Chain A
Amino acid sequence: MAVMRRVLAPFRETVGFSRWMLLAGIVIVAFFVVLAVGAEWIAPYGYAQKSADGVDFPKLAEPGGDHLLGTDRLFFDVWSRVVWGARTALEVIVLAVAGSMILGLALGLVSGYVGGWFDRILVLVMDALYAFPPLLLAIVFGFLLADKIGAGVVSAALSLTVVYLPQYFRVVRNSTISARESTYVEAARALGAPGRTVITRYLFGNVIHSVPVIGTLNAADALGTLAALGFLGLGIQPTDGADWGFDLSRALDDASSGIWWTGVFSGAAIVLLITGLTLVGEGLNETINPVLRKKRLQKIRREETIR
């Protein structure tokens, strides 16, 4: 309970402009969540469907008629691809963020608490990972994983996990190191608590609070990287799921021949979801980051106090 309260506190504490940013972000993200969850009912066709009722879809049909947003050069229905793409994107993002969050939290806690050589080696590895440009790293891992487990949601999520893991690790490790020196941790040791208990019961609850913000900020970033992976053909294969980035790369050739609908909608979806996630992250950041935070005093009007 206490942990949940502390995790959710930043959401409750937002005020003014940052609250509006947060709200707008949540609305946008919620829209895509609805698309993703209800893809079966919202999308008229499957993501890799080329025909319905025995009738083949036309190639590169203009928006309107049977196909709300037209079809692309693979005969796929664009609107269905956009809707199914939301599911893919959110699946990958949730998996990647959850993966790097859990892994980063666990490694950061242990590394910060144990210290010594274990800590140094982990910090070195994480710093090395962090030094790579995220896209390059994601490409390398995407490439390796596609070879091993095939290019799908899981492999994309895993390669993004590796990219974002160091951020969580650093933040958690650093706050663990400062919390480790606090009196209540010493008190716990004086009570006879073994290291495992100290980490789970005394450190975890006190280092968790900075994690959700990184999570939301990273989610936006992760979506961009996923789109880039898809664009480069290292994302999800078109037969495994709809990938906005992949569709965008297919639409490149169309753009010069005046066919705008194959690229615009998937591109707009990417931009919109990134905007939504960023708004959520920035809205939270203003309340969590003490440098940006402005605690407002409530103005009390005279009449109210007199009564």
Chain B
Amino acid sequence: MPTKPEAARAPRRAEHDETLLSIRDLRVHYALRGSSLARLFGRDVGTVKAVDGIDLEIAKGEVLGLVGESGSGKSTLGRAVLGLAPITGGSIAYEERRIETMSGRALREVRRNLQMVFQDPSAALNPAMDIETAVGHPLRIHRLARGDELRRRVVDALERVGLSPADQFLTKYPGELSGGQKQRAVIARAIILDPVLLIADEPISMLDMSVRSKLLQLMLDLKADLDLTYVYITHDLASAKFFCDRVAIMYLGRVVEIGTTEEIFADPKHPYTQSLVGAIPDLDPDRSTPRDLPRGEIPDAASPPLGCAFHPRCPQAFDKCGWESRDLRVLLESHWTTVPEAEYDAERAIIGDVDALDLPDHVAALPAGRGHSGGDVERVLDTIHAADPDEPFWRGVRQRRVVDAGVGIDFHEGEDPALRPAGGVQVACHLYPPPGDAAGPPPQPKE
């Protein structure tokens, strides 16, 4: 993806004063479906917090990027704005109208102004409906046009998105179009109602490289022509850099950093943002940037880590970040993947059952195996510590208590960081204490 030079982008940053959409403490939680037995007895099997307390303001005319890995809740947030995801709490106000309380007719009325472009253009079009009917259907649903007028507006929308001559596409079925053409048809269907806000959920991720930049350019042209506001959902930071005025970085249902595109890319604050920005592929083979990719996978949203949700993967985490028993298990197991088999067998015998560590707690008890004592366990922990003294885990350990039955580990009490201003952006990270906080800089500042 060619990235436009900075200078060319600058004039696009107009003044965005008027708030179009205002999201307050939005939560979307899904109840997990447990076994049929658990459902029968109504036992609570937990919830997945897909979106967990998000505040956002979207100004008229801006392009806001929602960036995050799979499972970060970015798509759910976009769908919640359209009333397509069940809202558990909080509020979404579109021009003072509260979307979360609407239903049926009122919601359909608002949807004329809020439209969506989907990730997979092949799935977003009804395979049994020709392009003319599909693109014109919004007008029929809202009874805005019919007959010749309908056809004229469909042709107009198709020409606008670059499907011209439109006559050639009217009678086609989605199966007869290419991916790029289908996505253009989806965009045509979205703009035919003359909407105000367009939510684009990874609109280019399923397309060929060759048509991606053309589609983004098309969307920018449409924005200028039709006075649109975009929410651009993506995992691709490079396209966000090209496309967005502001970027919100999401992690496990939260916004961890939000600010203007320039600032986020020039000086990423949150360690997660730093690693994402570092992961953008660089086309210059001679220039190798250190890739500080986050280790491991995005955690299970059904039982997120205590404290800061990013701490298990964070290279700069320290005592306040919410260390807990599950991190100990991960530490042990990742250590065991690196040692020779004989050493693993020996250490595995010394340490007893580690399943109890799966219960998240700031206190962890590591039992000794049969015929071993707490001292042996302590020695294993010392070896692991000595092998990698920089491991952030050890910063979280407050004290270790060696007893006969094993080793008890007390962690520092963690704290869930809230969004706070840092520089020109907002960031949710303990590395940037809120202004007026006496705690001072963290003990392990970034290099």
Residues of chain A within 8 A (CB-CB) of B79 are: 186
A206 at the interface (CB under 8 A from B): yes
Q: Is B142 an interface residue (CB 8 A)?
A: yes
The answer to whether B108 touches A6 (Cβ under 8 A) is no
What's the Cα separation between A258 and B66 when bound, in Å?
88
Contacting residue for A184 out of B84, B104, B126, CB 8 A: B126
Please choose the segment from A191-199, A212-220, A226-234, A277-285 that sits at the chain B interface, where 4 or more of its residues have CB less than 8 A away: A191-199
Interchain CB contact under 8 A, B120 and A192:
no
**Interface presence of A205 (CB below 8 A):** yes
Partner of A206, one of B127, B186, B189: B127
- Residue A289 lies at the interface, judged by CB distance under 8 Å to chain B: no
Residue pair A202, B126 in contact (C-beta under 8 Å): yes
Determine whether B162 belongs to the interface, using a CB cutoff of 8 Å to chain A: no
A183 to B119, CA, bound (A): 9
What's the Cα separation between A55 and B115 when bound, in Å?
81
Could you say which of B128, B186, B193 contacts A6, with CB atoms under 8 Å apart?
A: B128
Q: Are A182 and B123 in contact (CB under 8 A)?
A: yes
Judged by a CB distance under 8 angstroms, whether A294 is at the interface is: no
A201 at the interface (CB under 8 A from B): yes
User: With the chains together, A59 CA to B137 CA distance in Å?
Assistant: 68
State A186–B79 Cα separation when bound (angstroms).
10
Task: Assess whether B141 is in contact with A192, with CB atoms less than 8 Å apart.
Answer: yes
Cβ proximity bits A233-259 to B, threshold 8 Å, 1 near / 0 not: 000000000000000000000000000
Nearest CB to that of B186 among chain A residues?
A: A187
CB of B129 closer than 8 Å to a CB of A? yes
Q: A183-B123, A184-B126 are in contact. Are A193 and B173 (CB under 8 A)?
A: no
> How far does the alpha carbon of A202 sit from the alpha carbon of B120 in the complex, in Å?
17
When chains A and B are docked, how far (Å) is the Cα of A189 from the Cα of B129? 16
In the complex, chain B residues 118-173 whose Cβ is within 8 Å of any chain A Cβ: 118-120, 123-130, 137-138, 141-142, 173
CB distance from A193 to the nearest CB of B (A): 5
If A2-B173, A183-B118, A187-B118 touch, whether A193 touches B128 (CB-CB below 8 Å) is: no
Q: B284 to chain A: closest CB distance in Å?
A: 38
- Tell whether B24 is near chain A: CB-to-CB under 8 Å: no
Given A192-B138, A192-B142, A201-B129; A183-B124 close (CB under 8 Å): yes
Give the residue name and chain of the A residue nearest to B142 (CB): A192
Indicate if B92 sits at the interface (CB-CB under 8 A). no
For B119, the closest partner residue in chain A by CB is A183
Residue among A2, A182, A184 making CB contact with B130, cutoff 8 Å: A2
The verdict on A184 contacting B123 (CB below 8 Å), with A2-B129, A205-B129 known, is yes
Contact B108–A192 (Cβ < 8 Å): yes
- How many residues of chain B have a CB within 8 Å of chain A? 30
Residue of B whose beta carbon sits closest to that of A184: B126
Complex formed: what's the CA distance from A184 to B126 in Å? 5
B123 nearest in chain A by CB position: A183
Does B98 belong to the interface (CB within 8 Å)? no
| B188 interface residue (CB < 8 Å to A) | no
Decide if A192 touches B112 in the complex (CB within 8 Å): yes
What is the CA–CA distance of A190 and B85 in the complex, to the nearest angstrom?
11
Is A188 positioned at the interface, with any CB of B under 8 Å from its CB?
Answer: yes
- In whole angstroms, how far apart are the Cα atoms of A223 and B409 in the complex? 77
Interface centre among B125, B128, B173 (most CB of A within 10 A): B128
Bound-state CA distance A194–B140 (Å) is 12
Known: A190-B115, A192-B111. A184 touches B125 (CB 8 A): yes
Structural contact, A3 and B128, CB atoms closer than 8 A: yes
Chain A residue nearest in CB terms to B189:
A191
Shortest distance from the beta carbon of A176 to any chain B beta carbon, whole Å? 14
CA of A205 to CA of B134, assembled, Å: 13
B107 to chain A, nearest CB (A): 8
Instruction: List chain B residues, Cβ under 8 A from A205.
Output: 126, 128-129
Chain B's nearest CB lies how many Å from the CB of A207? 10
Task: Verify B128–A190 contact, CB threshold 8 A.
Answer: no
Q: How far is the CA of A206 from the CA of B84 in the complex (A)?
A: 22
A194 surroundings in chain B (CB, below 8 A): 104, 108, 141
Which B232-277 residues sit within 8 Å CB-CB of chain A? none
Establish whether residues A183 and B120, one from each chain, have CB atoms under 8 Å apart when the complex forms: yes
Chain A to chain B: the 10 pairs with minimum beta-carbon distance, closest first: A205-B128, A183-B123, A192-B108, A192-B111, A190-B116, A184-B126, A191-B138, A187-B124, A183-B124, A193-B141
Can you report 11 residue pairs joining A to B where beta carbons are below 8 Å apart?
A: A2-B130, A183-B119, A184-B126, A186-B84, A187-B118, A190-B84, A192-B108, A192-B112, A194-B108, A202-B126, A206-B126
Known: A184-B124, A192-B107. 20 other contacts (CB 8 A): A2-B129, A182-B123, A183-B118, A183-B119, A183-B120, A184-B123, A184-B125, A187-B189, A188-B137, A190-B111, A190-B115, A191-B137, A191-B193, A192-B138, A193-B137, A194-B141, A197-B141, A201-B126, A201-B137, A206-B128
